[in-house]
């Protein structure tokens, strides 16, 4: 699979995370900001539109199962590996919400609490520097397909880009990823 590489941001601490009821997500829904969040689009060369790999791309592949296609990251050793997208922050955004379906098997966590499988959503300023809290939804144990959700109620001052990353944060195992949705609350 050919996916461009970008550095994976290391979360030093977990930001405040508020779980959203599905009804709130539906009511706040605008368009999905994520490109190809269901991983159904791929070109003939194995490229997955919209996504960049952080880490070793050999461990990232598309899988078809029961009529659905999703992304799998399968790491034999504890390390960093994931996929990422970034996009401009809208001037009318009050906040953001995030959801993703994850399945995790054979988790080997790293030495720190945040060393696990995670969905990270952080903001950057015009110089590409991190601003605001570290916001993430972590998966702490093996699980079947589960929807994880989170939100950021207000954008940090100076935020011009939103970076969304999904993968292993200094951990190992098999992480399946599907149906990522990111929306702006206005």
Question: What DSSP string runs through the chain?
Answer: ---EE-PPPPPSS-----PPPHHHHHHH-----STTTT-----TTS--TT-EEES-GGGEEEEEETTEEEEEEEEEEEEEEEEEEEEEPPTT-SEEEEEEEEEEEEEE--SSTT-SEEEEEEEE-TTS-EES---EEEE-S-EEEEEEEEEESSPPTT--EEEEEEEEEEEEEEEEEEEEEEEEE-
Gap between the Cα atoms of 27 and 10, Å rounded: 32
User: Is the Cβ–Cβ distance between 155 and 123 less than 8 Å?
Assistant: yes
Can you tell me the distance from the alpha carbon of 43 to that of 37, in angstroms, rounded to the nearest whole number?
Answer: 15
pLDDT of res. 50: 86
Q: How does pLDDT run along the chain (186 residues), one tens digit per residue?
A: 444 444 433 333 333 333 334 434 444 445 899 999 999 887 555 567 889 999 999 999 999 999 889 999 999 999 999 999 999 999 999 999 999 999 999 999 999 989 999 999 999 999 999 999 989 999 999 999 999 999 999 999 999 999 999 999 999 999 999 999 999 998
């Amino acid at each position: 699979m050919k996916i461009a590489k970008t550095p994976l941001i290391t979360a030093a601490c977990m930001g405040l995370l508020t779980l959203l009821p599905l009804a709130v997500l539906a009511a706040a829904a605008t368009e999905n900001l994520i490109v190809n969040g269901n991983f159904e689009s791929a070109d003939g060369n194995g490229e997955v539109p919209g996504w960049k790999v952080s880490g070793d791309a050999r461990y990232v592949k598309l899988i078809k199962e029961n009529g659905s296609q999703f992304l799998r990251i399968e790491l034999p050793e504890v390390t960093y590996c994931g996929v990422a997208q970034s996009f401009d922050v809208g001037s009318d955004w009050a906040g953001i919400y995030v959801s993703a379906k994850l399945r995790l098997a054979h988790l080997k966590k790293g030495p720190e609490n945040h060393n696990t499988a995670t969905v990270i959503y952080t903001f950057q300023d015009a110089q590409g520097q991190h601003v605001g809290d570290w916001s993430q939804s972590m998966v702490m144990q093996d699980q079947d397909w589960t929807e994880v959700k989170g939100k950021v109620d207000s954008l940090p001052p100076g935020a011009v880009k939103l970076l969304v990353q999904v993968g292993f944060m200094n951990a190992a195992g098999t992480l399946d990823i599907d149906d990522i949705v990111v929306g702006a609350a206005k």
